[in-house]
Amino acid sequence: MSVMSSPSQSVSLELQPSRIDAVIEQALKEHRLEGTVVMVSHHGTLSYVRAAGMANRETDTPMMADTLFRLASVSKPIVTTAAMVLVAQGKLQLDEDIRRWLPDFTPLLTDGTAALITLRQLLSHSAGLSYRFLEQDNQGPYARAGISDGLDNSPITLQENLRRLATVPLLYTPGTSWNYSLAIDVAGAVIEAVCQMPLADAVAKLVTGPLQMKDTAFFTTDTARLSQAYVSDAPSPHILQEGEIVPAFEETVGIPYSPARALDPQAFPSGGAGMVGSARDLMRLLEVLRQGGSPLLPAETVAQMGCDQTHGGDIPSLPGCGFGLGFSVLRDPQAIASPESSGTWRWGGAYGHSWFVDPAQELSVVAFTNTLYEGMSGRFVTDLRDAVYGVPAGAAQ
């Protein structure tokens, strides 16, 4: 991947905690967020940690640095890392047909012909799959097939979900385009097959155990530490109800949420949406990757993760951004008026989370909130980014 110049690559970053504080306080004051945990690591040192607002407004429980959150898509880099550990161990190949491990997962192209899907395509969302919540209504092919996005209270197994997924034609020939999708759930099934154990056990063995990410799993019994989930609303966020459907994008049917799923040990392990964890745990993983991957991965494997796999194509609604293995990769900061360096990794989670890693600045930022979708894609995300870089909100070049 070619590296383009940006102001942040030539100027040394100096953190200004007061700017970050101001962004957090404004979001709370304006009732855009109920609570948040923000952590910033710079040059390998945890330079900023703040828990603010309420973890549970109704019980007057304050947010704490070790509060647990439903991770949604924050699980994707975790499960992707587990797959890459297997690649580094020689147990998986990025460009091998996944039918070696999932012989029954054989979705067809729209013309009825068979398609070869690789792990690389799964981890980069270029396999031709999609999400049910991206369909325009509840009569879309994913809805008709009864496919779960991993965020609802569906009682089916991972294997049954993949069986249903395989009945729907692929959107395009794998490797020729990009579409956000259930691909990491499929990758989770590949991991299960390779390791011959449930995904939860495999992720614990490959990633969370070695890194002592003790808060991160596919469910929790620690209800006292688990934050309440809220939905952006006026005059203030409302509690996310069990089964409530909240569209993440315009003209889409939306996500049917099950906050109770995080407490259900029987819920199928969704690699793309199904975990619980803390901000500190995710920061630990991001910093391990940023610093070269040890003790999990060799540096060359991490470099593959941070390499744009889209062949110069942009992610929809994110100009200047491609996608690596597990997260987006910023190619052109000027295209989105960002102070981040070219090569910055970023993604988030539907329950209200964002994170990014700027390798050029030796910078990792984790912002977990309990408010969707403000904490994933609202003003708070860009204001926090600009505050970290010391740029006045809206003034990034």
Residues 260, 318, single domain; the answer is yes
Whether residue 395 is contained in a domain is answered as: no
Q: Are residues 130 and 276 in the same domain?
A: no
The answer on pLDDT for 91 being more than 70 is yes
Let me know whether 17 and 37 are in one domain.
yes
Arithmetic mean of pLDDT, 212-226:
98
Comparing CA positions, the residue from 304, 310, 218, 227 lying closest to residue 265 is 218
pLDDT of residue 395: 55
| 71 in any annotated domain | yes
Amino acid (one-letter) located at 261:
R
Q: Do residue 174 and residue 109 come from a single domain?
A: yes
Number of Cβ within a 10 Å radius of residue 319:
13
Cα distance between residue 121 and residue 126, in whole Å = 5
C-alpha closest to that of 71 among 203, 250, 191? 203
Check whether residue 170 and residue 223 sit in a common domain: no
On whether residue 220 sits in a domain, the answer given is yes
Catalytic residues: 73
Report the chain's mean pLDDT, rounded to a whole number: 94
Query: 70 with 83, same domain?
Result: no
Higher pLDDT, 11 or 193: 193
pLDDT for the residue 11 = 58
Would 394 be classed as within a structural domain?
A: no
Per-residue pLDDT at 12: 77
Same domain, 198 and 127: yes
The first and second tokens of residue 151, run together, are 């965020």
| pLDDT score of 250 more than 50 | yes
Dist. CA 147–CA 131, nearest whole Å: 9
Q: What's the domain count of the chain?
A: 2
If you average pLDDT over residues 259-275, what whole number do you get? Answer: 97
Distance (Å, rounded) from C-alpha 233 to C-alpha 231? 6
Where does 44-144 have alpha helices with state H? 75-88, 119-123, 141-144
> 189, 208, 227 — which closes off a domain?
208
- Interval 128-144 mean pLDDT: 96
CA 262-375-9 angle, to 5 degrees, is 120
- 112 burial level (CB within 10 Å; 0-12, 13-18, 19+): exposed
* Contact between residue 254 and residue 248 where contact means Cβ atoms under 8 Å apart: yes
* Residue 183 resides in a domain: yes
pLDDT at 3 over 50: no
Give yes or no for residue 274 having a pLDDT over 90.
Answer: yes
Looking at the fold, whether 254 and 383 belong to one and the same domain comes out as: yes
Say which DSSP state 228 is in: P
Residue 393 included in any domain: no
Q: What is the distance between the alpha carbons of residues 346 and 323, in angstroms, rounded to a whole number?
A: 9
pLDDT confidence of residue 324: 97
Alpha-carbon span 78 to 218, nearest angstrom: 11
| Distance from C-alpha of 153 to C-alpha of 264, rounded to nearest angstrom | 9
CA distance 284 to 55: 22
Alpha carbon of 364 to those of 83, 234, 351, 383, 392: distances in Å? 22, 32, 20, 16, 20
Tokens of 74: 């924050």
When pLDDT is cut at 50, 70 and 90, the band that residue 313 belongs to is: confident
**Is 102 a residue whose pLDDT tops 90?**
yes
Across the range 271-297, mean pLDDT stands at 98
Asked which of 178, 208, 238 is the last residue of a domain, the reply is 208
pLDDT digits (tens, 9 = 90+) for 29-83: 999 999 999 999 999 999 999 999 999 999 999 999 999 999 999 999 999 999 9
Is 224 a residue whose pLDDT tops 50? yes
Name residue, tokens 């609604």: 317
Q: Is residue 1 part of a domain?
A: no
Say whether pLDDT at 209 is over 90. yes
Average pLDDT over residues 281-299: 98
Residue 397 pLDDT: 42
The number of helices, as runs of H, and strands, as runs of E, in the chain is 12, 15
Whether pTM > 0.85 for this model: the answer is yes
Residues 54 and 25 in one domain: yes
| Angle, vertex CA 31, rays to CA 28 and CA 34, nearest 5 | 65
Same domain, 364 and 235: yes
Answer yes or no: do 262 and 370 share one domain.
yes
Classify residue 382: in a domain, yes or no.
yes
- Report whether 166 contacts 117 (CB < 8 A): no
User: Domain holding 175: CATH number?
Assistant: 3.40.710.10
Last residue in a domain, options 183, 208, 233 = 208
> What pLDDT score does 316 carry?
84
**Mean pLDDT value of segment 250-275:** 96
Using the predicted structure, report yes or no on whether residue 7 has a pLDDT greater than 60: no
Check residue 6 and report its DSSP letter.
-
Identify the DSSP state of 135: S
pLDDT at 315: 87
Are 204 and 275 in a shared domain? no
Mean pLDDT across 237-256? 95
Write down the pLDDT at residue 317: 83
**Domain that residue 119 falls in:** 79-208
- pLDDT above 60: residue 2: no
The shares of helix, strand and coil residues in the chain, as percent rounded to the nearest 5, are 30, 15, 50
